Amino acid sequence: MLDDLDAMTLLGAREGLRAGQFSSVELTRALLGRMEASQGDIHAFVTIDAEGALAQAAEADRRRAAGEEAPLLGVPVAMKDNMNVAGQPCTASSRILEGYVAPYDATVSARLRAAGAVFLGRTNMDEFALGSTTQTSGFGPTENPVARGCIPGGSSGGSAAAVGGNLALAALGTDTGGSIRQPASHCGIVGLKPTYGRVSRYGVVACASSLDQVGPMTKTVADAALLMDVLAGHDPLDATSLDVPVPGHLAAVEAVGGGRPLAGMTIGLPKEYFGEGLDGEVRALVEAAAKRAEALGATLREVSLPHAGYGIPTYYICMTAEVSANLARFDGVRYGLRVPREEVLAQYLATRAQGMGAEVKRRVLLGTFVLSSGYYDAYYNRAQKVRTLIRRDFDAAFAGCDLLLSPVTPEPAWPLGVYQDDPIRNYLSDVLTVGANLAGCCALSLPAGATAAGKPVGVQLTGPNFGEPALLRAARALELR
């Protein structure tokens, strides 16, 4: 069975381990071999922890031999490099955190560990999750494993490339404005941004605290549901974690049958997401997915998100403001890079100047500006009011629809290096994804096919707060079509 790693899923690996078809050590060693062979090529990982992963795998095999069982016992996963895993480096792909080793587990890491997962290593990302291409990483860019020579998307591009390139069975990513869904679309995998507050952010390097969410990046919808069953739930260590009952996500997916599984479901098509600037091949693939949903029993209706056009400016004000505050802690005093100077302020300035990349500096400066005296009301305060209007747009749409269906990105993955010096063009790649973050609702990218050039394209399904079960059921039905 290990001869066909490309086809292996998270659930398939779990069943194979339980049936004794292979051991966790054998599976982990096979994946590590692939990871190491691809590093000079795709560069999906910042750190590969071969020794640690094999030790965890051996312990999982010992536990299984002793009769123990757990949801992910012995199953290897990859972690985005902004999540603390005790004993592993955590740099957020920034030189300013080079040398920092996590002394504790993030809650998501702790829950995976309790479920028996094996941690393979740390995936590459845009520095501090600030980017849409994984080209701003302080350790070099990641290449798309499916559309070679192109970006994998970002900021969770390393996680998407690891799963899309069959180097890992699954990975975790974070999504602040589309950073799970956009790379999932570009690399042809499933990526889920949960409802804000559904998955703990404790121990995750903060980008924009009111927008960030951790979520699964997998080969299949069922695998995403399996990970959600492990990750979701209230965490007293995270003040934004919501104490809401967690449904059985995998059970909801496994209940999807044949025939017309979407009968009785109304799916809205936001007209603002199908407007000018949408690539023709992307439009055709997404419209084909909508027709498949209709054939599966769903009722389609056009809906409007009237303030969608304000999404990008609103997002880039709110996000940069929070970034400027969150990144102030990285000053070379307690951990990471330190550039010694006699004066404390001179040390701060030298450390941040040397340790932070151009895009991080740009966003810190923008955020500091919109929060500054004389500009707070004109920019930040006004953006918060528009954010409320955007959230109300989604609430109104969900009053008449169960889910929304739209493109994930306006265009397929573009070549590495293109638009690298054009921040506005890069920012606009998030135009169809930032709305879900501003509103806090759940959203998912599902493979919808590929362009004539072989570039993957995803279709985005968006659901109301805590609507993950319906979202996953619809995605599973479309996946099986």
Q: Which two tokens stand for residue 370?
A: 């919109």
Exposed e or buried b per residue across 408-421, where buried means at least 16 C-beta atoms within 10 angstroms of its C-beta: bbbbbbbebeebbe
Retrieve residue 467's tokens. 């609507």
Strands 299-303 and 442-450: unpaired
- Picking from 133, 175, 178, 194, the residue whose alpha carbon sits closest to that of residue 409 is 178
Rounded to whole angstroms, the Cα distance separating 160 from 173 reads 8
Q: Which long-range contacts (CB under 8 A, 24 or more apart) does 16-22 make?
A: 17/64, 17/73, 17/74, 17/75, 18/64, 18/69
Length of the chain: 481
The single residue of 23, 94, 179, 324 carrying the catalytic annotation is 179
Dist. CA 169–CA 175, nearest whole Å: 19
Rounded to 5°, the CA angle 245-250-253 comes to 115
Neighbours of 110 (CB within 10 A): 19
Active-site residue, from 24, 109, 155, 241: 155
**Which structure tokens are listed for 229?**
């069953």
What order do you get walking across the sheet with 170-175 strand by strand? Answer: 45-48, 118-123, 76-80, 170-175, 213-218, 190-193, 442-450, 456-463, 403-407, 266-270, 299-303
Cβ-in-10-Å burial (0-12, 13-18, 19+) of 468 comes to buried
Does 38 participate in catalysis according to the annotation?
no
Task: Given the residues 80, 193, 219, 455, select the one marked as catalytic.
Answer: 80
Residue with structure tokens 């990750």?
231
Catalytic residue at 179?
Answer: yes
Q: Measure the CA–CA gap between 353 and 98, rounded to whole angstroms.
A: 14
Give the pair of three-digit tokens for residue 237: 């260590």
Catalytic site includes residue 159: no
Which residue, among 156, 218, 211, has the nearest Cα to 183 in the 3D structure?
A: 156
Pick left, alpha or beta for residue 26 (phi over 0 → left; psi -120 to 50 → alpha; otherwise beta).
alpha
Active site residues: 80, 155, 179
